[in-house]
Chain A
């Protein structure tokens, strides 16, 4: 219970920070943290599916992308090379992969989600038998994410090319 309260407090604090901070980078980072907390809360509340989603998509991929792109771009659109960026990118990327991997693993193995319904089973079963369609959407999301990365980082590549 205590953990939950801490998480909730963290969630609120970081959410508020995300909202209030005028520096976009800091705001985005706060958002990422908040989302992370939220994902964990979902997870603890036995709503792992939502939790996965929250962490994987919102907290992870997209926020990170934004932090980076914002950090890379000054007001006039020039590329800003800074150390923080170099550090932040690997850190967040690794973090994202680790968390995502852990969550997915645990989800697929042991959690019997969607308890109601004729064929209650493991998440994997549900995912494949009943909610096949969501898989398509997941593929879409991943595709979108990848493509977004490609698109948003192209400027950097271009700059390097030049």
Chain B
């Protein structure tokens, strides 16, 4: 297969995007058909490329070592395949869900553009090319969020753009430092020890990666977007594409570009970020009253596991992190899609209004349940496997605190999904919504496919672990370390798994306690925790966006701008407007006063001048 196929992998979705953009809004079905077919073709292409393994394409681009350099190898092929798969599912789903959206033309256009950029980012083998595609995704993200058509959509879109921009600019800085220190931009040629400037480069690039993945503190636009953006966007971007890309890059950073040692400062920083993300986000998720928002906080929380796993820098942890990435993409995508399905039929996602939909929407409920259990890490689903690997990895680093944090996360994850599932699909049928029925097949089908995948990846974890994950780590870890993680993947009988299961039981207990306390209303199940003394205040502050770095950052920017404007720019202008003019006026005024029209005065000057001239000349002659 010619290596130009790589170029076409990127160009094809872009061309499709343009075609879809050009199809007039009035023509029905054509757009959906093209989209589904094209994404199907891409999915097929993904398989094709995955079977190819190694391809590379280099051509001149900007000069100075900035080449148009694409490289397909195992890892990128895997991510590419996953991306194409999710694109296909989203297209399928959107065919019905977004059918009547007023800006449907743009929607598909942006979708495929985003796909194109993502493929580019995955295939890039030159940092500049990478950042080109990487940052370009910001625009599609921005545009897709505005398609939510809510009053606050644009605000959220700007938020995502600025946060993303900040992260990407950090990454540019990191790349720049890396380039300055190594002298090359080819991604497969760089491998440095993270010391000194390189450590700074590591952190900066890491910010770029985890920022894309949505780890704390760069997550705050995601919960907002959950309400303001189309739900299919949530399934598409924060749930799947961005996680895949962000963790892909994080893995590349820690495995390829830098040699991250287990237990080193940088690794610990990464783990702290992971652990903090898990715990803080899950606490936020727990108390949410909106289905989509709850899911969005989980989308943040789960990133913590991936970051934590990769941060352990221990093969099993890394593998767990990467595996968790793909697992998370599947079940979170499924969860968002099922929330979309509920929204599609009922028009709302508020937990309070929903209830007992399982009978009317059985397939959605089924899909949701499987995915929810997977995310909670219930045996034998995929979430269980990857989380166990992360726990193992975290424990092996010798800092059990991180494992504990991860377990705390597991407790509340399950608790919140119990709450969500209980409120939406089970329990008594809500009276606030009219009778409804199951969504159309194109909506349900993707959910079910994802649910099935969750089960498959859990039960037959050998398949993903051996075909996808293991080759990534080959050659990247010290010799002799076992790379077969399947042995204890579904092992229930070890202390780690025991603790995990204990966590699930605690979660169950918490839920039912809260449910009872809340007058048997499932959506109030989290209230006991919400109302705990200190937590309550923290929750309130966080509702007021006190902890939102973006809000604080914006305030800082506004403050800084005012300072710059009032204390630097205006004073400079004052010099031109007032100081210069008034100095001129003063001198002129003084001189003008001297010219009072008196002849005697004038004559005096003349004579005085003469005397001075004579005196000077005589002085000079001496």
Contacts and interface: CB of A to CB of B under 8 A. Distances in A.
A adjacent to B, CB under 8 Å: yes
5 contacts: A19-B599, A19-B600, A19-B603, A20-B600, A27-B599
B159 to A, nearest CB: 76
B354 to A, nearest CB: 97
Contacts of B603: 19
Interface string B592-607: 0000000110010000
Contacts of A19: 599-600, 603
A89 B434 CA distance: 120
Interface of B: 599-600, 603
Contacts of A27: 599
B271 to A, nearest CB: 96
Nearest to B600: A19
The 5 closest A-B pairs by CB, nearest first: A19-B600, A19-B603, A20-B600, A19-B599, A27-B599
Interface string A100-118: 0000000000000000000
A51 to B, nearest CB: 23
Contacts of B599: 19, 27
A35 to B, nearest CB: 15
- Chain A contact residues (Cβ within 8 angstroms of B): what range? under 10
A19 B607 CA distance: 12
Contacts of A20: 600
A82 B385 CA distance: 125
B355 to A, nearest CB: 101
A130 B527 CA distance: 126
Contacts of B600: 19-20
B603 to A, nearest CB: 5
A27 B598 CA distance: 12
A19 B600 CA distance: 5
Nearest to A19: B600
A27 B599 CA distance: 10
Nearest to A27: B599
Nearest to B607: A19
B609 to A, nearest CB: 16
Nearest to A22: B598
B503 to A, nearest CB: 107
A4 to B, nearest CB: 23
Interface string A17-36: 00110000001000000000
A19 B603 CA distance: 8
B524 to A, nearest CB: 98
B600 to A, nearest CB: 5
A19 B598 CA distance: 9
Nearest to B601: A19
Nearest to B604: A19
A19 B606 CA distance: 13
B605 to A, nearest CB: 12
B606 to A, nearest CB: 11
A19 B599 CA distance: 6
Nearest to A24: B599
Interface in A1-55: 19-20, 27
A20 B603 CA distance: 10
A19 B601 CA distance: 9
A25 to B, nearest CB: 14
A106 to B, nearest CB: 33
A18 to B, nearest CB: 8
A46 B599 CA distance: 32
Nearest to A20: B600
B608 to A, nearest CB: 14
B607 to A, nearest CB: 10
A130 to B, nearest CB: 31
A62 to B, nearest CB: 16
A27 B603 CA distance: 14
B101 to A, nearest CB: 85
Interface in A75-89: none
A20 B600 CA distance: 6
Interface string A137-151: 000000000000000
A27 B600 CA distance: 11
B599 to A, nearest CB: 6
A42 to B, nearest CB: 20
B157 to A, nearest CB: 76
A89 B600 CA distance: 27
A38 to B, nearest CB: 16
A118 to B, nearest CB: 34
A139 to B, nearest CB: 30
A17 B564 CA distance: 64
A2 B17 CA distance: 116
A58 to B, nearest CB: 15
A2 B14 CA distance: 115
A20 B599 CA distance: 8
A48 B599 CA distance: 30
Nearest to B598: A22
A143 to B, nearest CB: 28
A160 B461 CA distance: 126
A24 to B, nearest CB: 9
